[in-house]
């Protein structure tokens, strides 16, 4: 294997790494043998008792590599100094993959998220998509909620059950795909319920308060609205995702 291929393989591997933090979260991860763990990170300031003792025992039982860091260094790994509790863990999420992989799919129904900020919304969207008739979620790294303990909790353990395609921004991806792209919008004229989805369909859900951004809207083939009764103006974005996930194919 040449150096170029080694670099590509290494890069592809580390793109699947998700870092979580917090003592209870790490214990839950270590107790779940179905979750592949790359490495455990501990602050040198931790006292080896209580939850830390249990974490160390679980890591030893699973033969997981443990590295120790000064508190500041550990916080740079967790990216959440206030809530990491001196513990972080790198997990390998095989379902977390580059959006470039979408081009290899023959038929699909995807949900793309444009500026979703609330971790609980993201987790509930993942749960609905995993339960429903959706083949994956496109999640930008830019201006979006990150995979975190709050997201995992809201997803109720479904995070690793559906492909999540990451990209820097939706603009980088949507224009490159041969698919029918629909933006959910309160100003749309066509109803979601009248749609017969194409073999390759992407539904774009926008920011909780501002909706789909103008830049992404330009890349969509059409806009769709969910008709409301009794003067209700809109639905939570996670509820909207649920309706799309369980609509007819």
DSSP collapsed to 3 states, 14-65:
HHCEEEEECHHHHHHHHHCCCCEEEEEEEECCCCCCHHHHHHHHHHHHCCCC
Percent of the chain whose pLDDT exceeds 70: 99
Confidence of residue 158 (pLDDT cuts 50, 70, 90): confident
Compute the C-alpha angle 167/173/178, nearest 5°. 145
**If you average pLDDT over residues 6-16, what whole number do you get?**
79
Every domain of the chain and the residues it spans? 3-92, 96-245
3-state secondary structure 81-143: CCCCCCEEEEEECCCEEEHHHHHHCCCEEEEEEECCCCHHHHHHHHHHHHHCCCCEEEEECCC
**If you average pLDDT over residues 94-109, what whole number do you get?**
92
Query: Which tens digit of pLDDT belongs to each residue from 16-34?
Result: 888 999 999 899 899 988 8
Q: Is the pLDDT of residue 167 over 80?
A: yes
Run of H or E residues at 174:
helix 170-174
> Which pLDDT belongs to residue 35?
86
Confidence of residue 224 (pLDDT cuts 50, 70, 90): very high
> Which pLDDT belongs to residue 249?
65
Q: Tell which CATH classification among 3.40.640.10, 3.40.50.1820, 3.40.1280.10, 3.10.129.10 matches the domain 96-245.
A: 3.40.1280.10
Higher pLDDT, 236 or 160: 236
Percent of the chain whose pLDDT exceeds 90: 75
Confidence of residue 7 (pLDDT cuts 50, 70, 90): confident
Strand partners, 18: 91
CA atoms within 13 A on the CB side of 129: 32
| 238/40 Cα distance (integer angstroms) | 32
Strand partners, 137: 111, 164
Q: Is the pLDDT of residue 160 over 90?
A: no
Confidence of residue 13 (pLDDT cuts 50, 70, 90): confident
Mean pLDDT score of the chain? 92
Q: Is the pLDDT of residue 213 over 80?
A: yes
Higher pLDDT, 48 or 181: 181
Q: Fold for 3-92, please state it.
A: 60s Ribosomal Protein L30; Chain: A; (3.30.1330)
User: Token pair for residue 210?
Assistant: 């501002």
């Amino acid at each position: 294997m040449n150096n170029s291929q080694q670099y590509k393989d290494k890069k592809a591997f580390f793109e699947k790494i998700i870092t979580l933090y917090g003592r209870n979260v790490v214990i839950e991860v270590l107790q779940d043998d179905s979750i592949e763990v790359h490495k455990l990170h501990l602050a040198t300031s931790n006292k080896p008792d209580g939850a830390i003792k249990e974490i160390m025992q679980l890591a030893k039982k699973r033969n997981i590599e443990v590295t120790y860091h000064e508190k500041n260094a550990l916080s740079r790994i967790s990216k959440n100094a206030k809530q990491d509790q001196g513990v972080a863990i790198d997990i390998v999420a095989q379902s977390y993959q580059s959006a470039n992989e979408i081009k290899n799919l023959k038929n699909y129904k995807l949900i793309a998220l444009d500026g979703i900020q609330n971790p609980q919304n993201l987790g509930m969207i993942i749960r609905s998509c995993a339960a429903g008739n959706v083949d994956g979620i496109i999640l930008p790294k830019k201006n979006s909620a990150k995979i975190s303990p709050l997201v995992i909790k809201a997803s109720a353990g479904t995070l690793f059950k559906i492909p999540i395609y990451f990209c820097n921004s939706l603009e980088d991806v949507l224009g490159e795909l041969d698919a029918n792209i629909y933006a959910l919008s309160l100003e749309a004229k066509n109803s979601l319920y009248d749609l017969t989805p194409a073999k390759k369909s992407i539904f774009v859900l926008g920011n909780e308060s501002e909706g789909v951004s103008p830049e992404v809207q330009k890349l969509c083939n059409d806009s769709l609205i969910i008709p409301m009764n009794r003067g209700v103006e809109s639905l939570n974005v996670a509820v909207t995702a649920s309706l799309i996930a369980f609509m007819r194919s």
